[in-house]
Structure 1
Amino acid sequence: MESVTFSESGGIRYLHFGTDMIQGAMRIRDPDEIYLEYNQQMMAWLLFLETKPGMRVAQLGLGTGALTKFQHRHCPAVKTTVVELNPAVIVSARSMFSTPDDDRRLETLQTDAKAFVKSSRYKNHFDAVQVDLYDAICDGPAASSLEFYKGCFEILKSPGVMTVNLFSRHKSFDINLKNICEAFDNRVLLFPESHDCNVVAMAFKGPRLEVEWKDVAKRAKIIMDKTGLPTNTWASSLSRANARQENKLSI
Structure 2
Amino acid sequence: MRFLHLDSIWVQGAMRIKKPEKLELEYVQRMMAWMLWRDTRELTQGQAVQLGLGAGALTRFCRKQLKMKTTAVELNPTVISACRHWFHLPDDDDRFRVLNEDAGEWVADAANWGTAQVLNVDLYDHEAAAPVLDDEAFYANCHRVLADGGLMTVNLFGRSASFARSAARIAKVFGSDQVWHLSPTREGNTIVVAGRGVTVPEREVLEQRAANIEARHELPASKWLKLVRPLPMNVIQQIREQA
- TM-score, length basis structure 2: 0.89
Provide closer, same or farther for how the CA distance between residues 199 and 28 of structure 1 changes in structure 2, counting only shifts above 3 A.
same
Q: Find the partner of 1:242 among 203, 213, 230.
A: 230
Question: Is structure 2 residue 31 aligned with structure 1 residue 42?
Answer: yes
- 1:176 partnered with 2:166: yes
Q: Which has the higher contact order (CA 8 A, sep 6+)?
A: 2
- If each structure's helix is expressed as a fraction of its own residues, which one has the higher value? 2
Shift of 1:230: 2.1
Match of 2:95 among 90, 99, 105: 105
Aligned to 1:70: 61
Alpha carbons 2:130, 2:159 under 8 Å: kept: no
User: For 1:22 and 1:158, how far apart are their aligned partners in 2?
Assistant: 34
For residue 51 of structure 1, what is the amino acid of its counterpart?
Answer: L
Contact 1:168-1:193 at 8 Å conserved across structures: no
Q: CA RMSD in A?
A: 1.6
- In the alignment, the residues of structure 1 paired with residue 203 and residue 139 of structure 2 have an alpha-carbon distance, to the nearest angstrom, of 27
Q: What SS does structure 1 have at the residue aligned with 2:175? A: coil
AA partner of residue 96 (structure 2) = L
Conservation of the 8 A alpha-carbon contact between 2:129 and 2:159? no
In the superposition, relative to structure 1, how do residues 243 and 140 fare at CA in structure 2: closer, same or farther (>3 Å)? Answer: closer
Write the distance in 1 (CA, Å) between the matches of 2:75 and 2:7: 16
Q: 1:51 aligns with which of 40, 43, 49?
A: 43
Distance in 2 (alpha carbons) for counterparts of 1:145 and 1:65 = 25
Give the superposition deviation at 1:213.
Answer: 2.0
Residue pairs, 1:139-218, within 5 angstroms: 139-167=129-157, 170-186=160-176, 187-207=178-198, 209-218=199-208
1:232 paired residue number: 222
1:141, 1:172 within 8 Å by CA — same for their partners in 2?
no
Identity value in percent = 37
TM-score, normalised relative to structure 1:
0.86
What are the superposed Cα offsets for residues 14-62 of structure 1, whole Å, 9 maximum, x if unpaired? 1111011111111222211110111011112222222355x01111000
Deviation at 1:170, TM superposition (A): 3.7
Matching residue's letter, 1:44: A
Q: Is the 8 A contact 1:156 1:205 kept in 2?
A: yes
Measure, in 1, the Cα distance between the counterparts of 2:27 and 2:212. Answer: 20
- The residue type paired with residue 57 of structure 1 is A
1:19 matched to which residue of 2?
A: 8
Alignment match, 2:240: none
Equivalent-residue separation in structure 1 for 2:71 and 2:10 (angstroms): 26
SS of corresponding position for 2:167: helix
> 1:148-200 CA deviation, whole Å, 9 max, x = no partner?
00000001011111000001664432321121111111121000101211010
Counterparts of 1:210 and 1:88 in 2: how far apart (Å)?
40
Question: Partners in 1 of 2:230 and 2:95 — Cα distance?
Answer: 35
8 A contact 1:32–1:70 mirrored in 2: yes
Provide, for residues 86-129 of structure 1, a one-character-per-residue CA deviation record: whole Å limited to 9, x for no partner.
Answer: 11101111211112221222111110000011001011111111
Q: Partner letter of residue 13 of structure 2?
A: G
